[in-house]
């Protein structure tokens, strides 16, 4: 969230220039359901607000969302990991809010789900799985999760 009270940074840099504060709770209540990572909450209305803020504040620039997704615990069995209905709900909710922003004039031209494959996360190692494709780390065999099939149907339905 934008924080006008952030002090001017002494040094310029990626995070210093954000001028934001991070909030996971409001009045002691989580702002949405938490994913596996302790910093990641399911708050689709926040994405809508962020896109609309960019539209208004910066003259409606072209926006490509290059990374949006949620993680499950890395210790799920393959069977449980493949049945990722929570991830489908997450993507549905976020894409609904992004469509709302686009319908209201935001110049949103691209969206990338994070991530195609389960991978090594720099802060978490293999303890989180963000992919729509399950990777068996012992032999690197890949198995599409039901969210991958959901995305395929979504994209086929919207070809025109």
Q: What tens-digit pLDDT sequence spans the chain (160 residues)?
A: 556 676 776 766 656 666 666 778 889 999 999 999 988 999 999 999 999 999 999 999 999 999 999 999 999 999 999 999 999 999 999 999 999 999 999 999 999 999 999 998 888 889 999 999 999 999 999 999 999 999 999 999 867 5
3-class SS string, 46-104? HHHHHHHHHHHHCCCCCEEEEEECCCEECCCCHHHHHCCHHHHHHHHHHHHHHHHHHHC
User: Of 8, 85, 9, 97, whose CA–CA distance to 50 is shortest?
Assistant: 97
CA end-to-end span of the chain, whole Å?
A: 36
| Residue 5 token pair | 């009270």
Partners of 26 in the β-ladder: 29
- H helix or E strand, kind and range, residue 155: helix 146-157
Q: Which of 37, 27, 28, 18 is nearest to 122 (CA)?
A: 37
Domain residue extents for the chain: 34-157
pTM as predicted: 0.87
**In this structure, which CATH number among 3.20.20.80, 3.30.1360.40, 2.60.40.10, 3.40.50.300 belongs to the domain 34-157?**
3.20.20.80
């Amino acid at each position: 969230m934008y924080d006008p009270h952030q002090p001017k940074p002494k040094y310029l840099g990626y995070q210093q220039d954000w001028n934001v504060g991070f909030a996971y709770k409001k009045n002691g209540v989580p702002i949405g359901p938490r994913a596996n990572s302790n910093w990641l909450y399911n708050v689709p209305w926040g994405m809508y607000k962020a896109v609309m803020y960019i539209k208004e504040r910066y003259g409606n620039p072209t926006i490509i969302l290059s990374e949006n997704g949620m993680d499950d615990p890395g210790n799920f069995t393959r069977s449980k990991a493949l049945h990722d209905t929570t991830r489908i709900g997450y993507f549905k909710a976020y894409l609904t809010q992004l469509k709302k922003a686009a319908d209201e004039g935001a110049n949103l031209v691209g969206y990338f789900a994070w991530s195609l494959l389960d991978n090594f996360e720099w802060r978490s190692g293999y303890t989180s799985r963000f992919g729509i494709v399950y990777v068996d780390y012992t032999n690197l065999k890949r198995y599409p999760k039901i969210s991958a099939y959901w995305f395929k149907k979504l994209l086929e339905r919207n070809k025109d």
